[in-house]
Amino acid sequence: MTVDIADRPELAPELRLVPHAFRRTFGRPAQGVWYAPGVLNLLGGAVKVRAKWGAIVAGDLRDDGVLELVSVNRPAERAVLPSDDVPAWARGVRARGGATLMCSVDLPHGSGLSASEALNAAVALALGETEPDPEPLDLPGQRLLVVDTRIRRDEPQLTRPFTAGTDLGPALTAYHRAQNPDPVQDAVVEAALRAGARGASLLVDPPGRPAVALVDADLVPAVKKAITKAVEIPPRYLTIVPGPFKTAALR
């Protein structure tokens, strides 16, 4: 007898939670579970770094071409695509096949790790599309400190053209200087640089105003402390060790 994915004890709890929510909502087991990591888009997306936080979807395919999405955290806000009326959490997902999927995203939109991009990638995997994995950065002894300022703006954050250099630290700072940062992003970057970061820049992840700093591992606490002192609202921090984080599919 085939064991429901939600009941497989060898799987991580988060991989069982989503198919369990699918079974509870729809009264049937999920055919599969798909995971895609969050994406840290550095230098306007010229460099992409995967993170261990991301999006998980569980469900089954359907043959009517309708893509139905339900959020674990917002079960009443269903998204049926294609449609012009889509809940905020599902915006950015492209409809290109039929499926009913329960969705879970680790991070809020605008926190710096492109939650919408991760969700779209997980849905693509469920629909049988492949997602290319970026080359891992070779940054021994360094960390990427993602700063969610917790500021959200309705206005879009436009970017300006930029040609990156080969050294990531100075390139991040140069990218930031070439843009039109929000004042809170500017405060974060300047504080990080004063505290010894190798480089820092804004991140474009609407509706948020996050930032990122490239920091030697032993300086992470000091940089966090300096940033927290420089802004009014205490930020949320995520520390990324650059390396390969793969997509996954379970059936």
The answer to whether the beta carbons of residues 80 and 68 sit under 8 Å apart is: yes
210-237: per-residue pLDDT in tens? Answer: 999 999 999 999 999 999 999 999 999 9
Same domain flag for 39 and 147: no
User: 201 pLDDT band (50/70/90 cuts)?
Assistant: very high
Q: Between 110 and 4, whose confidence is greater?
A: 110
Q: State how many domains the chain has.
A: 2
Cα–Cα distance, 98 to 71 (Å, whole number) = 17
In this structure, the answer to whether residues 17 and 126 fall within a common structural domain is yes
Q: Dihedral through CA 65, CA 70, CA 71, CA 77, nearest 10?
A: 110
- Same domain flag for 20 and 112: yes
- Residues 151, 69, single domain; the answer is no
Cβ–Cβ < 8 Å for 141, 206: no
Contacts of the segment 8-16: beta carbons below 8 A, 24+ positions apart = 11/250, 14/56, 14/104, 15/56, 15/250
The Cα–Cα gap between 85 and 107 comes to: 23
Mean of the per-residue pLDDT values of the chain: 89
Tokens of 62: 């359907």
133-173 per-position pLDDT tens digit: 666 678 889 999 999 999 999 999 989 988 877 889 999 99
Predicted local distance difference test score (pLDDT) of residue 82: 86
Instruction: Give the integer Cα–Cα distance in Å for 22 and 102.
Output: 6
What stretches of 109-246 show up as alpha helix (H) in DSSP? 115-126, 168-178, 183-194, 220-230
Q: Write the CATH number for 34.
A: 3.30.230.10
Q: Which domain holds residue 49?
A: 5-134+244-250
State whether residue 14 is helix, strand or coil: helix
Do both 124 and 39 map to the same domain?
yes
As a whole number of angstroms, the distance between CA 62 and CA 51 comes to: 30
Pair (147, 130) in one structural domain: no
Q: Which helix (H) or strand (E) holds 169?
A: helix 168-178
36-56 per-position pLDDT tens digit: 988 899 999 888 898 888 899
At residue 198 the predicted structure's pLDDT band, cuts being 50, 70 and 90, is very high
Whether the per-residue pLDDT at 7 is higher than 50: the answer is yes
pTM beyond 0.75: yes
Interval 80-124: pLDDT, tens: 998 888 888 888 898 788 999 999 998 888 999 998 889 999 999
